Amino acid sequence: MDRETVEKVARSAHLKLTEEELEIFSRDLGDILGYFAMLDEAPDCEGFGIDPIGVADVLRDDEPYMELEPDALLQGMDTYDNYVRGPRLL
Amino acid sequence: MSHSSVLSSLSKINEKYRMFRTVTSETDAGDAKFLFSAKDNLTSKDMETCSGSRILEGYRPPFDATSIAKMREAGGLLVGKTNMDEFGFGTFSTNSAFGVPRNPYDLERSCGGSSGGAACAAAVMEGHVAIGVSTGGSICCPASFCGVYGVVPTYGRVSRYGLLDYGNSLDKIGIISSNASDLGKYVEIMAGADPRDPTSCVQPAIGARRKLKSVAVPGDATEGVSEDVKKAFKDGLEALKSMGVDVEKVEMPSLRYAIPAYYVIATSEASTNLARYCGMRYGHQDGDLSLKFDDYFTSFRSQYFGEETKRRILLGTFTRMVGFRDRYYSKARRVRQSIIEEYRSVLSGCDAVLTPTMPFVSPKFTDISKMTPVESYKADILTGPPNIAGMPHASMPCGYDRDGMPIGMQFVANHWDEGVLFSAAEEWEKNFDAVRPEVSI
């Protein structure tokens, strides 16, 4: 895979790669996709789903309940005045 | 050895074998009925959960995974979180950010992966029950390399609530132990419908133990397999015949496509699952908040993800991109369905499909470091098929090579038919002379 494509994919995945990583992944992804090319000859099949077994919707009554205390969920996060601190948007 | 003696020796055992990422500080087992460990990608209230990744260092979940909660309710004491490849990305547990577990039969060799720490704990500590997680072979591979029993139930049998996802449509929680009878006993404890994981809510009850009467061996089951593994597998087949099990050869041509299809699906799902790790919600959050949000997220992910994690995120992002999705992701899902149908067809005429578990015995770390990614992925050639199909399967020790390294064979049953695997493991254990590793600390 050429370096430009690797860089484009990395940007999309929120990764910044070093020059060394670009070289390694360019070579490795080319090899891996070369191996995956055997899928082209695999027989097709209809009626497939996302999961390997059949699944059904699971619905519950729309009643509010609290399983975890908000304080427990905020533990370990950077917070102030009940807000979560994050990077700037603009 | 009493439970309390085990607890007091955990740190020392871990110094030698490095199977644990975290061990409990408890020294008194109290009235615990059994001791167990959990792979470090299952959330636990009393210990960090890092999934082998530096990016999650310091993450202390406020809740237990359903599998851990059920084991505690049954009287189990969680003694530690076991080492693993980062997010399950590996076959040898060498991609862990927190130390690499060492094989109890030869410290210079791998325990397998990605539940390498779990298999190591099961092999070293007699009677220990280890919860493992398998996406593409991460229970049976290490069970085979460490000479113990490992079972992966049907996809959906054990709730995935509290599991840090690798591939949602592939992840399965199972058990590794040196005792065959533990497989059924503890899967039955962890199994059951859980509304927090809808894929667990369609399951029928686990059926009664059913005697294994027949197995099918794919014609190319030993293609590319080492001579030592071939011999042990052949001996295993002869032993099964002497136990009254019918053995027949079958053709399963779709299985050759399982590994590329598995890696496409697994990395596609992983690349979206790992988007949540960006330095805000879990683990490290010590970045420069003056950065724009895209740059902030990117800086964390680039700094803390390991090499194999980056490789799989890139791969999965690429195979989902416009222009490539049909060729890779959509095709892989169709191939998965072909494999499921082929298993169902074969299993309509026999109880299990049998192959060796791994194509070779555990390699030395020096040899693993020379492997290319494709060579490493191909090591999953026998464990990948049942995993992509969501079929229950189990690895059982069946011999040893000339250096005394363990070899396993893998039984694959039909969806929801775990009973035949539990029974087969218990029967096999009575007929197989296991050689335990010499453990000294």
ipTM: 0.94
- Give domain status of residue A20, yes or no: yes
Alpha-carbon distances, residue B31 vs B24, B75, B78 (angstroms): 16, 8, 13
- Tell me which chain B residues have a C-beta less than 8 angstroms from the C-beta of A47: 337
Whether the Cβ atoms of residue B45 and residue B61 lie closer than 8 Å to each other: yes
Domain that holds residue B24: 3-255+333-431
State the virtual CA torsion across B45, B46, B48, B50 in degrees, nearest 10.
-50
- Give domain status of residue A14, yes or no: yes
Distance from CA of B299 to the nearest CA of A (A): 7
B286, pLDDT greater than 90: no
Which residues of B are catalytic, by number? 39, 114, 138
Q: Give the count of domains, chain A.
A: 1
- Give domain status of residue A85, yes or no: no
Q: What is the pLDDT of residues B176-201, one digit of tens each?
A: 999 999 999 999 999 999 999 999 99
- Give domain status of residue B167, yes or no: yes
In chain B, the residue whose alpha carbon lies closest to the alpha carbon of A34 is B374
- Give domain status of residue B63, yes or no: yes
Strand partners, B151: B175, B394
Q: Do B287 and A87 touch (CB under 8 A)?
A: yes
CATH of the domain at B172: 3.90.1300.10
- Give domain status of residue B438, yes or no: no
Q: Do A9 and B321 touch (CB under 8 A)?
A: yes
Mean pLDDT for the stretch of residues B275-298? 90
- Tell me which chain A residues have a C-beta less than 8 angstroms from the C-beta of B285: 76-78
In chain B, the residue whose alpha carbon lies closest to the alpha carbon of A71 is B62
H or E segment to which residue B132 belongs:
strand B129-134
Distance CA A55, CA B156 (A): 9
Q: Phi/psi at B232 (nearest 5 deg)?
A: -65, -35
- Give domain status of residue B437, yes or no: no
- Give domain status of residue B404, yes or no: yes
Interface membership of B287 toward A (CB under 8 Å)? yes
Of B285, B317, B337, the CB nearest to A48: B337
Between positions 368 and 427 of B, the ones with CB within 8 A of A are 372-374, 377, 388-391, 415
- Give domain status of residue B160, yes or no: yes
Interface membership of B321 toward A (CB under 8 Å)? yes
pLDDT band at B349 (very low <50, low <70, confident <90, very high): very high
- Give domain status of residue A13, yes or no: yes
Q: According to the model, what pLDDT value does residue B352 have?
A: 98
CATH of the domain at A26: 1.10.20
- Give domain status of residue A74, yes or no: no
pLDDT band at A44 (very low <50, low <70, confident <90, very high): confident
Whether the Cβ atoms of residue B361 and residue B228 lie closer than 8 Å to each other: yes
Distance from CA of B211 to the nearest CA of A (A): 25
Q: Give the count of domains, chain B.
A: 1
Q: Is the pTM of this model over 0.95?
A: yes
Distance from CA of A64 to the nearest CA of B (A): 15
Distance CA B400, CA B415 (A): 30
Residue in the block written with tokens 């370096």: A3
Domain that holds residue A1: 1-42
- Give domain status of residue A82, yes or no: no
